[in-house]
Amino acid sequence: AVVSTQSTGEYSWWQRFLIRCLLAGTLPKHVAFIMDGNRRFSKIRGITRAESYLMGFEKIGEVLDYCEVFGIKVVSVYAFSIENFKRSEEEKGELFRLFEEKMTYLLGNLEKLNEKGIRIKVMGDISLFPGHLTKLMADVQLRTAHNTEFCFNLCLSYTSREEMTNSVRTVVEGVREGRLEVSDITENLLDRCMYSEDLPPVDLLVRTSGEVRLSDYMMWQANFAVLQFARVLWPDFGFLHFVSSLLDYQRQQPRLAELRERYGEFLEKMRDWEVRGMEEGSEGRQEEFCVELKRRRREVLEEFARRE
Amino acid sequence: SSGINAEYGHNFKRINLSSRMMFEGFLFVIHLFLHTYCQLQVIAQSAFNLLRWWRLSKWNVDVLLAHTKNIGRVPSHVSLVFLEEGVPVEDLVKPVVWCICLGVTTISLYDYYGRLRSKNIDIDKEIREYYTSFTKSSKTSPKSEPRAKIQFVSVENGRTDLVNAARTLASQAVKECCPSLITQTVVEDYLKVFSHDNPEMILKFGTLNSLAGYPPWPVHLTEIISLPTCHLISPTDFVDSLRRYNKIEKRVGK
């Protein structure tokens, strides 16, 4: 696999059978993971926390392989929350070292990433990390930004509320600067101002370790997603667990698709109301605003990447 | 090995029609099993409650309080999310009344289409009737009128609420009376629903594993406890849910 340092090897006959069965149904375009349970895993297995985190990282590579097989286009993982900055210096140090190692590995494999069309995106306020990490994260994003086949979305220094607040702040600034009118602010515009920008909405959100909350993760994007709270700990998450998540998605998806369509109708009705109140040139202004926002964000990344 | 992996996504389409139909058939059978298992959970909950109906109908507020004495914490805001159709009003007011008896101060009822909101007068009446009958034979001193706040929420209060908050802030920015720094607290100030009043527990009814348009802002730390159905719900189902809620260790990032 390109993204992990280990290969998953061949699939057995029953795995190939299950894969072919699942491919006969609908599969999600965007899957998000809350990779919970690393610390509990280290306690249960009697290994160090650092070893457990490393196994967790390797697990990401394995899961990305599965996603490739099932044709899933975007995978998001909750790697580090803003709340996690409260952890001990020692634990943060372990995690930052791992991030640095993995980012460096990715930068060393750029050719393969670009060949396969894999885009690495980082969602969150990366300026909160130590400077050298911020630089690496910015670099890896800039060098793979043009890829469109597959997106690996890392949520680092991220919380959903911070993201939503940032999006609101962005559009309010836009109105203050005269680039937008108040009536230009629609759900679609707020969506495009989120860190996720043009990524498709989350179809399936899987949280491991049995916890049943979202912990401030992609609440906006996963508003209509299938939520799966799996009891298994993240380093133990395997092929069958993933198949079970996908089967759950297939079972729930028709009802959610219907609700989404109804929501689309509801938004259309609101849009009619909005359009009547909307001033001329609104769509054009929104488009220009989003293009400018992307440019500014790219500039920020370039600034980070230029740092020593 | 990456060659083998790449085979599935792309080459699958090249499989002949009869093979594809065979796999569709197998998938159909797998889903049939899963669906049956799911439906059995729903039926089992209702059947179990029906079998114990005689004993359960004797429950009143004293029995409920006795069973929840050492359960731990009762959340101050509970959100009841109804993702199933056709729940009779008599059943859906029961968890509301049980929450009130346990001292929950805010109870929000969510259903996608907002049908509950349109029936709110009927529901209010049912709540009062059931509350009266549930607390009638109480041996403890009669409580004054229950103080819980009950609100109805639907998909219209979801993302739209945040959009409206953004618009209000933007209009204020134009008039130059907007807060100079927009923080999370400021955003929450401008929300119409669940402003600084986030549900600590969601009790979700139905087999749909999704929040289906529920307001995205308030659920960052909400524990989502699921029950297969609200049909024929019993107080023991409710007490079990509270027990599950209390078993969870709330780490908040640490």
Write down the pLDDT at residue B58. Answer: 83
User: What 8-state DSSP symbol labels residue B209?
Assistant: -
CA atoms within 13 A on the CB side of A105: 15
- Cβ-defined contact of B8 to A19 (cutoff 8 Å): yes
**Using one digit for the tens of pLDDT, what is the confidence trace for B86-105?**
889 999 999 999 999 999 99
Highest mean pLDDT of the ranges A275-284, B81-90, B130-139: B81-90
User: What 8-state DSSP symbol labels residue B210?
Assistant: B
Write down the pLDDT at residue A272. Answer: 63
First to last CA, chain B: 39
Write down the pLDDT at residue A4. Answer: 46
* Mean pLDDT over each residue of chain B, to the nearest integer: 87
Evaluated on CA atoms A35, A222, A304, A165, the torsion sign reads negative
Say whether pLDDT at B60 is over 90: no
Q: What's the rounded Cα separation, in Å, for the pair B223 and B230?
A: 18
Mind telling me how many Å the CA of A258 is from chain B's nearest CA?
11
Residue of chain B minimizing CA distance to A9: B1
pTM assigned to the model = 0.91
Write down the pLDDT at residue B143. Answer: 56
User: What 8-state DSSP symbol labels residue B182?
Assistant: -
Task: Give chain A as a 3 state SS string.
Answer: CCCCCCCCCCCCHHHHHHHHHHHCCCCCCEEEEECCCHHHHHHHHCCCHHHHHHHHHHHHHHHHHHHHHCCCCEEEEEEEEHHHHHCCHHHHHHHHHHHHHHHHHHHHCHHHHHHHCEEEEEECCHHHCCHHHHHHHHHHHHHHCCCCCEEEEEEEEECHHHHHHHHHHHHHHHHHCCCCCHHHCCHHHHHHHCCCCCCCCCCEEEECCCCCCCCCCCCCCCCCCEEEECCCCHHHCCHHHHHHHHHHHHHHHHHHHHHHHHHHHHHHHHHHHHHHHCCCCHHHHHHHHHHHHHHHHHHHHHHHHHCC
Say whether pLDDT at B222 is over 60: yes
Query: Residue B254's pLDDT band (boundaries 50, 70, 90)?
Result: low
Write down the pLDDT at residue A135. Answer: 94
Facing B1 at nearest CB: one of A7, A186, A229: A7
Say whether pLDDT at B141 is over 70: no
Write down the pLDDT at residue A50. Answer: 86
Say whether pLDDT at B23 is over 50: yes
**A277: contact with B, CB 8 A cutoff:** no
- Cβ-defined contact of B23 to A9 (cutoff 8 Å): no
Dihedral of the CA atoms A293, A297, A303, A306 (nearest 10)? -130
Which residues does chain A have with pLDDT short of 70?
1-9, 271-279, 308
The size of the A-B interface in CB pairs under 8 A is: 191
Q: Which of residues 36-95 of B touch A (CB under 8 A)?
A: 38
* Residue of B18, B19, B23, B200 to mutate, testing the A interface (most A Cβ within 10 Å of its Cβ): B23
Q: What is the CA radius of gyration of chain A?
A: 20
**How many other β-carbons are positioned within 10 Å of the β-carbon of residue A118?**
22
Say whether pLDDT at B249 is over 70: no
Residue of chain A minimizing CA distance to B3: A10
Residue of chain A minimizing CA distance to B29: A21
Mind telling me how many Å the CA of B54 is from chain A's nearest CA?
33
* Residue of B7, B8, B111 to mutate, testing the A interface (most A Cβ within 10 Å of its Cβ): B8
**Using one digit for the tens of pLDDT, what is the confidence trace for B3-16?**
333 444 444 555 67
Q: What's the rounded Cα separation, in Å, for the pair A144 and A125?
A: 19
